[in-house]
Structure 1
Amino acid sequence: MSSTIVLAAAEDVRSEDSVQLMKELSEELGLLYGGDGTAGFQLSDVEVPRSAFIVARLDGYPVGCGAIRPLDENSVEVKRMYTRSDYRRKGVAQAILAEAERLANHFAYRNLKLQTGPLQPEAAALYERMGYYRIPIFHGDWDQVLAYQKDLVQQPASL
């Protein structure tokens, strides 16, 4: 019986696996919403202090990704959340978010924020299940955005 444990960890945003996952995500978002599907994300967004690009793997195979980039001293934004279609509903997104939250806490942020679109109801439901609550849009001017926040309970920095 093969392992079904999803491992999510920070990896190089410019690695082959990372670039391929983001390409797939951008194509999917482009089909849903139009445009190039990048949602204004640049690789350099996660090459600054207190940021990270996360890849989720199942038996070593890359199955999803996510990123955290600083918004300000206290807030980090979750970006590029993606799970390959064959691996959805297997805990991949939860593992990515858990690692994003762990890293955000390690980097001493007070909260995580994210935005998703109305054509992704499964994503919105996931964020709500994971303890995120609705907030006003904090970036961009598209009125269809669903914005969320999760406050962190500060832990001693002993990671």
Structure 2
Amino acid sequence: MGDSFLYTTSTAEISRPLIEQLTVEYRARYGDHFGDASVEMNRYPPERFAAPDGAFVLLLRDGKPIAGGAFMRYDETTAEFKRMWTDTDHRRQGLAQRVLAELESHATALGYTRVYLTTGFRQPEASALYLKTGYSALFDVTADPATIEKLPFEKALVPGEAERNERLTA
């Protein structure tokens, strides 16, 4: 069966592993630093990650979710990416980069021309991914990330670029 993308909702049963693992990961990395991880995971109503302004996507392998992410409208031209996740048993396979390219492609198709996102200071692999894939840091990258806490990034979306990057990394 192989890998495929599924556009769904954050409340769908198939999305449960993403939501549960991401909540556990936030707790493990941050404890109570940003408050209760469950509150963060429920900060936005599910409809924010749905058409016409957003999306929630899972990367499935043989029908099971192994990675995913979402976006919502930030402003008229900007999509805000959230909930990037890779299953703990499937890391270091380039799956997050594939999900990122899929989200960029879908956001571009919806007319967005820019992506904005943040990651936490205890997620260096996420920061490295965003820098590697053409995102600009909106913070001093020479500063101690713990002094900044939420690390913002942005990227201009160019039609067709996400698909080209996906082919190069596949």
Whether these two folds match at TM > 0.5 is yes
1:120 corresponds to which of 120, 123, 127: 123
- Indicate the residue corresponding to 1:43 in structure 2: 46
* Alpha-carbon distance in structure 1 between the residues aligned to 2:88 and 2:113: 32
Sort the Cα spacing of 1:64 and 1:36 in 2 relative to 1 into closer, same or farther, 3 A. Answer: farther
1:21 aligned residue (18, 41, 53): 18
Checking the alignment, whether the CA contact within 8 Å between 1:9 and 1:99 is kept in structure 2 is no
SS of corresponding position for 2:75: coil
Query: Does the aligned pair in 2 maintain the 1:26–1:36 contact within 8 Å?
Result: no
- Alpha-carbon distance between aligned partners in 2 of 1:19 and 1:134, rounded to the nearest angstrom: 31
1:57 Cα deviation (Å)? 1.2
Q: Does 61-70 or 10-19 show the bigger shift? A: 10-19
Separation in structure 2 between the aligned mates of residue 58 and residue 150 of structure 1, nearest angstrom:
28
Q: Select 2:57's aligned residue among 54, 59, 83.
A: 54
How many Å separate the matches in 2 of 1:41 and 1:124?
A: 23
Q: CA RMSD in A?
A: 2.0
- Equivalent AA in structure 2 for residue 29 of structure 1: Y
1:145 to 141, 150, 157: 150
Q: Which runs of 5+ in 1 are unaligned?
A: 137-141
Matched-pair contact (CA < 8 Å) for 1:13–1:43: yes
Residue 89 of structure 1 aligns to a residue whose secondary structure is coil
Q: What is the distance in 1 between the residues matched to 2:100 and 2:84?
A: 8
TM-score (norm 1): 0.83
8 Å CA contact retained: 1:108, 1:154: no
Q: Which has the larger helix fraction?
A: 2
Contact 2:9–2:46, Cα closer than 8 Å, also in 1: no
Distance 2:84 2:64 in 1: 17
Instruction: Please report how far the alpha carbon of residue 7 of structure 1 lies from its aligned counterpart in structure 2 after TM superposition.
Output: 2.8
Preserved CA contact (<8 Å) 1:55 1:66: yes
TM, length-normalised to structure 2: 0.78
- Of residues 24-33 and 70-79 in structure 1, the stretch that sits farther from structure 2 once superposed is 24-33
More divergent stretch after superposition (8-17 vs 47-56) = 8-17
Structure 2 gap ranges (5+)? 140-146, 161-170
Contact kept, 8 Å, 1:76 with 1:113, in 2: the verdict is yes
